[in-house]
Structure 1
Amino acid sequence: MPAIPWLGTAARASEPAGFVAAERPVAAGAVAVPVRLRASAGSRPAGLRLLPAASVWLWEGARERPEHLAEADAERAAGSEGSPDGGLDLRARLRFVLQPPLGLCLSSGGALEWPHELMPYQVQGVRLLFERERLLLADEMGLGKSVQALAALRLLALRHEVASCLIVTPASLLSQWRVRFAEWAPELRLAVVRGTPAERDGWWRTPAHAHLVGYETLRADAALARGRTWDVIVADEAQRIKSADAAVAMALKSLPHGRVWALTGTPLENRPADVASILELVIPDDPEPGRALRERLAAVQLRRRKAEVLPELPPKIETELVLPMSAEQRTAYDRAERQGLVQLRAEGGAVRITSVLELIVRLKQLCNFDPTTGASAKLADLQDRLTILRETGERSLVFTQFTDDTYGAHAIARGLSAHRPLVLTGAMTLDERARVVDRFRSDARHAVLVLSLRAAGVGLDLQDASYVFHFDRWWNPAVEDQATDRSHRIGQSRPVHAYTYALDDTVEERTAEILREKRLLFDQVVEGAGLRPEGTFSREELLRVAGLRV
């Protein structure tokens, strides 16, 4: 594995030349130290090295072997000019250059170069990740959790405090993490574990500072991942760790490791038990497991909201649109509802939840389109709104849970053909999805992007759009919030308008009522206002959505 140079320096870019760059160690255990030289020291590259025995060495590029200097000579070579304190001795100045204060590393124009200046709340997050071995970073979506994790990882690696890191993320985000890793930790080597089983075996064995892998791949390769002890595990979109018996959760929790950082903007997806599953990864040996969930969260969670840390971020304006059905949809919907309820009631007290779900999904599809005529109250409203937005140059995202040609993304895109929409679904390869996003960003002729909710709800940066439409509703508000925040995030300069559709007197209207309750539960548990024991769509709630009395 290539050695990591220390890049910190007490010199500032505004000062004249005559400073040496970091040199890689030439002996085992040596650390390269950048030190400012006097002008009389000559123009050849030189580096001051501190070996494990604390001897001081001056190495010049033209020489084959390091030359040992007396401390007084080294003092003259390093000079007191530009040191943190002219009165400090050589070792103190070397320590300052070897391990500059964290604030100097993170500040603009400081000891390290960053792609852009970290915001104050991000500096705070990096500090906590750096200092604490276990943390749930639960910042609201769009605040740069991955950037904070990479900055902390870079600092720990450059200080030789960690040597191996495992980053686990949804497969759709592998490319984005690879790009950000190169930007925020350029000195570190990354191995992306993907491909055939044989190829993945090779990547697991590849020496690297960090290995990047998708959750499903980790489940398949758990035995290979357990072959080493990971200094840091980063669980991105940690809401994927859903329950204690889930295969993905078990694979992740079985890995030998030191530090654990869980990243998620929505730790509560369906029920508080999901939060407990994340906490089992972050604090597996909780000394007080009987504590209330809210107290356990508070002990390891750092959560900031956009309104608190980014007051300059434009507002997110959310609007519920409740529309009457088209006549064609109402006829098809009522017929399907009557038939479905008759079948459910025929099952009596032993009604199967799978039967209830099948009916609800069928009715939700009919709320999108009438399959015979293609009539859609939502599409008609959306067409009118997009026509107005196109005249003002606005760009829009349209999310749907369906992907088929009759009720889903492709049917919506077909109905919006005048706007030249692009489509992104889970059926596409990762490279195909990336090309669609690049085309949407770069070609203003495509003012609308229609996306599959589950395929595109996380990890994408789509600040080019300031209007978001949820064509149909998912089972919980956390997923919808993630999708909306593809637009409402750092870099957005305009207010984001988010619209959710529901049709009057249908399963969608009843679903919306329960989703409002879910949002309240999320605020209670995660924001620390209290705790309710249940947050899932229970059997009773599903029957309520279907319109059955219980």
Structure 2
Amino acid sequence: RRAMIVCPEGARRQWVGNLTHWAPSLLLTVVCGDNMQRQLDWDTQAHIYLTDFLTLAKDIENGFLTKDKLAFDILVLSNLLTVRFQTREIESALRMLSAERRWALTGSLPGEPEGWLYLFGLLTPDRVRSATGLTLPDLQKRFSPYVLRRTKVELADKLPRQMRHEIWLDLDDHQAQAYQDVLKEERDRLAKLGGSVARTHLAAAVDRLKQVCNFTPELLDSVKVRALVDLVEEVSAS
């Protein structure tokens, strides 16, 4: 049996933690890293393959997944609506995957017909072909048998208490290089100061490294920014 879980980049580590807790006996392969590492990940035998939407689209485009590797017993698309307005390559990649069962996880149901057609176009494409042009109530009625919805009110006695949740992210290649450049600059600067190094000098060095971890100055973009955007979109959608 083979399962594929595709999620936003910022949710990848959370999925790893959940799967380790829920199904420790299953072999999990997290597809990430450079091109060579990802090719090795796809070639590794596993029960569950976990990757993010952008990586999947890139690897299918690069031919890392042969036709037989595009078939799974179950496909789980986590936070699917957060990538609705991203690149067309993501949607094309998801349509190339075949699976006996397809599940989508989302914080809320779409509020317009186009959202329903997008969502179920990736889950039950055969039923969507005849649904174009239907009103929102008609779409909700047609696809209601495929929806399992749970609200906070329904699950109030089963939900854990609210707690602070940390999300660990890997720097992308550009950000990692910028971090190494700043680290070298600060090491050289502190070395030149010699015995006159003070706590303020160390604090300034750490602050510069923290800034690079937040985003690269020339781009104002980073894995943290993209993860934050995903979270905001999920909250606003609900």
Task: Give TM class, smaller chain.
Answer: 0.5 to 0.7
Matched, 1:279 2:120: yes
Contact 1:193–1:204 at 8 Å: present in 2 too? Answer: yes
Output aligned runs, 1:184-223, within 5 Å: 184-222=22-60, 223=63
> Residue deviations 1:21-45, cap 9 Å, x none?
xxxxxxxxxxxxxxxxxxxxxxxxx
Instruction: Tell me how far apart the structure 2 counterparts of residues 264 and 170 of structure 1 sit (CA, whole Å).
Output: 12
Pairing 1:261–2:103 present: yes
Shift of 1:165: 0.6
State the alpha-carbon separation in 1 of the partners of residues 64 and 79 from structure 2: 22
For these two proteins, the number of residue pairs brought into alignment is 177
CA contact (8 A) 1:426 1:455 kept: no
**Partner of 2:154 in structure 1?**
308
CA distances 1:374-424 after superposition (whole Å, capped 9, x unpaired): xxxxxxxxxxxxxxxxxxxxx9xxxxxxxxxxxxxxxxxxxxxxxxxx998
CA contact (8 A) 1:244 1:250 kept: no
Q: 2:130 aligns with which of 259, 264, 289?
A: 289
Query: Runs of 5+ in structure 2 lacking a partner?
Result: 165-209
Could you say what secondary structure the match of 1:308 adopts?
coil
Q: Are 2:206 and 1:480 equivalent residues in the alignment?
A: no
Q: How far is 1:272 from its partner?
A: 3.1
Which residue of structure 2 aligns with residue 456 of structure 1? 228
- Cα deviation, residue 218, structure 1: 0.5
Offset from partner CA, 1:224-281 (integer Å, 9 cap, x none): 3444211111100011352698210110111122110111113427x53132111011
Partner of 2:181: none
Deviations 1:69-116 (A, max 9, x none): xxxxxxxxxxxxxxxxxxxxxxxxxxxxxxxxxxxxxxxxxxxxxxxx
Contact 1:243 1:273 in 2 (8 A): no
1:239 aligns with 2:44: no
Q: Which amino acid aligns with 1:219?
A: A
- The structure whose Rg is larger is 1
Give 1:258's aligned amino acid: E
Cα distance in structure 2, aligned partners of 1:426 and 1:295: 44
Distance 1:201 1:301 in 2: 35
For the residue of structure 2 that corresponds to 1:261, the secondary structure is strand
| AA at the equivalent of 1:211 | Y
Task: Note the alpha carbon deviations across 1:262-301, whole angstroms, 9 max, x for none.
Answer: 11113427x5313211101111111872353212331211
Match of 1:224 among 45, 64, 71: 64
CA distance in 1, matches of 2:30, 2:159: 34
SS at match of 1:305: coil
Q: What secondary structure is seen at the aligned counterpart in 2 of 1:286?
A: helix
Residue 235 of structure 1 aligns with an amino acid whose one-letter code is L
After superposition, the Cα gap between the structure-2 partners of 1:311 and 1:214, relative to the gap in structure 1 and judged at 3 Å, is same
So what's the TM-score if we normalise by structure 2? 0.62
Shift of 1:182: 0.9
Asked if structure 2 preserves the Cα contact closer than 8 Å seen for 1:189 and 1:210, the reply is yes
Q: Deviation digits for residues 409-459 of structure 1, max 9, x if unmatched?
A: xxxxxxxxxxxxx998566976xx6xxxxxxxxxxxxxxxxxx5x533657
2:15 paired with 1:177: yes
Which AA in structure 2 matches 1:304? R
**Cα distance in 2 for residues equivalent to 1:244 and 1:309:** 32
User: Could you state the TM-score of these two structures normalised by the residue count of structure 1?
Assistant: 0.29
Trace 1:31-430 onto structure 2 (pairs within 5 A): 163-222=1-60, 223-225=63-65, 226-228=67-69, 229-242=71-84, 246-268=88-110, 271-286=112-127, 289-290=130-131, 292-310=138-156, 425=214
**Counterpart residue identity of residue 6, structure 2:** V
2:155 maps to amino acid = V
* Other structure's SS at 2:101 match: strand
1:506 — aligned with what?
A: none
RMSD over aligned CA atoms reads 3.5
- Which amino acid in 2 is paired with 1:192? V
Q: CA deviation at 1:312?
A: 7.7
Q: Which amino acid aligns with 2:236?
A: E
Residue 293 to residue 213, structure 1, CA distance change in 2 (3 Å)? same
Percent of pairs with identical residues: 28
Deviation per CA, 1:304-357, whole angstroms, max 9, x where unpaired? 11012215869x9xxxxxxxxxxxxxxxxxxxxxxxxxxxxxxxxxxxxxxxxx
Q: Is the 8 A contact 2:32 2:55 kept in 1?
A: yes
The CA distance in 2 between the partners of 1:198 and 1:240, in whole Å, is 28
Higher relative contact order (CA 8 A, sep 6+): 2
